[in-house]
A = this chain, B = another copy of it.
Amino acid sequence: MTNFDVVVVGAGLAGLTAARAVRAAGRSVIVLEARGRVAGRTLGHRLSDGTPVELGGQWIGRTQTEVLKLVDELGLETFPTYDDGAAVTLYNGTLTRYADETFGLSAEGAATVGRLRQELEGLADTVSLSSPWTSPAAAELDRQSVGEWLHTRTSDTEALAFWGAIIPALFSAEPAELSLLHFLFYIKSGGTLGNLVSTTGGAQELRVVGGPHLMSERLADQLGDAVRLNAPVRKVSQDHDGVRVDFEGGQVTAQRVIVAIPPTLAGRLVYQPALPASRDGLTQQMPMGSVIKVQVAYPTPFWRRAGLSGFGFSLDEGLSVTMDNSPPDGSRGVLVGFFEGAHARSAALLPLEERRVSAVATLVRMFGPEAQNPVEYAEQNWMEEEYTRGCYGGRLGAGVWTQHGAALTEPVGRIHWAGAETSDVWNGYMDGAIRSGRRAAAEVLGHQEA
């Protein structure tokens, strides 16, 4: 069979959710996936003793209602991210241990950060989630990069270093690389900045037993042979009668297509007829972030004995953020860490062994000499993944939302767009991906012929 009601490009959470909704409405569907696996930016991995660790997206917050519902529907379970005890912050080589909301900053630094945070939350309130470019101060907010905005607000070195690490922790990009309007949109999309950066009470509160890639795997199981792997799509053609999608190894026809891959990758497909300039102009400039995720395993979560949560934050070179990523029973200690933004780009140039040494050195500075000898190290460089080309997601730099934002979700004839980047709620997160898949499916199902 090569003719369907709907063809979906990409078997991540967005595409699979869309496909499920299409099938639930009684329409035929096929999902074309470039890789030999489903799950997109989530990726399961097992340490040699069988402990599952997440090499891609992993956390869920309690206000992420759609992903929580899906976890439940699919018979999966969540468990709380380990978050007991004190956190640590590295700054200029000095370690600070703290158990409050200060991120270990000096009183002055914390006050400045708090003031800017309040200002950001206030500005975020003014942004339209459905169409950020129509926000009252859109032009002014969009012409500033976050980096420049911060420098106009403070010259406090410590506060600037804080934001210089927390922005990459959220976007895998440097403050200069994103528009202030984009940051504000993203804050509002996730509720508050507190939501975004917090473990307990925030977006990092829960993990999925076995890993969140299991959601995609179970969705794919339900879809059966409607999911075709190793089928990189190259061309999407449409005319009055329908669409044709060419992939390496074949072609399918359908009434509608849902393209559920990151905007920058969507921009690389060949379209016939060519996409309108408004859409093409957007995908020319919605780059993915730069991140290398590492998992470092120890015989035990030794930091817990020292009263540490495993949350480490570094304003210095190397890893920016670490968290306790041990299995629920604590039978093994795992620290997860991230090289982000500029740090990821420079770390990527190192041989694996040197990168491992760099990561472990940061863990030793944070958690002491016991961190020196991990039993295992695993990593995932998302920039090198041909079919993702960066994580956590696509962002917009200065000036882009106001000039090109309207094209992000607007269908082009029979082509509909999904993916975490296209959601107005929890944009960039698994929850947003699911919402986007559902929204795209609703668009498609709203058309009679499909």
Residues of A within 8 A of B (CB): 139-140, 142-145, 147-148, 151-152, 173-178, 234, 264, 267-268, 270, 274, 276-278, 280-281, 284-288, 290, 341-342, 345, 348, 381, 383-384, 386, 389-390, 397-400, 402-403
Contacts and interface: CB of A to CB of B under 8 A. Distances in A.
A146 to B, nearest CB: 9
A448 to B, nearest CB: 27
B398 A177 contact: yes
A309 to B, nearest CB: 32
A176 B142 contact: yes
Contact of A280 (B145, B285, B389, B398): B389
B400 A177 contact: yes
A143 B139 contact: no
Contact of A145 (B175, B234, B290, B399): B399
B399 A277 contact: no
A3 to B, nearest CB: 24
Nearest to A289: B281
Contacts of A280: 383, 389
Nearest to A145: B398
Contacts of A174: 399, 403
Copies in the complex: 2
Nearest to A349: B278
A277 B139 contact: no
Given A176-B142, A284-B389, A403-B174, A278 B398 contact: no
Contacts of A285: 284-287, 397
A277 B143 contact: no
Best-buried of A281, A287, A398 by chain B (most CB within 10 Å): A398
Contacts of A284: 264, 285-288, 389-390
Contacts of A144: 145, 148
A342 B403 contact: yes
Given A145-B148, A284-B285, 4 more contacts: A145-B398, A234-B234, A276-B384, A285-B285
Contacts of A142: 176
A178 B402 CA distance: 13
A285 B283 CA distance: 9
A277 B398 contact: no
9 contacts: A143-B175, A145-B145, A147-B398, A176-B403, A177-B399, A274-B386, A276-B384, A277-B381, A398-B398
A116 to B, nearest CB: 16
Contacts of A397: 285, 397-400
A417 to B, nearest CB: 17
Contact of A402 (B140, B176, B274): B176
Nearest to A285: B287
A281 B390 contact: yes
A103 to B, nearest CB: 23
A384 B277 contact: yes
A237 B175 CA distance: 35
Contacts of A381: 277
Contacts of A345: 277-278, 281, 403
A419 to B, nearest CB: 15
Contacts of A270: 234
Nearest to A342: B403
The 3 closest A-B pairs by CB, nearest first: A176-B399, A277-B383, A143-B176
A144 B151 CA distance: 10
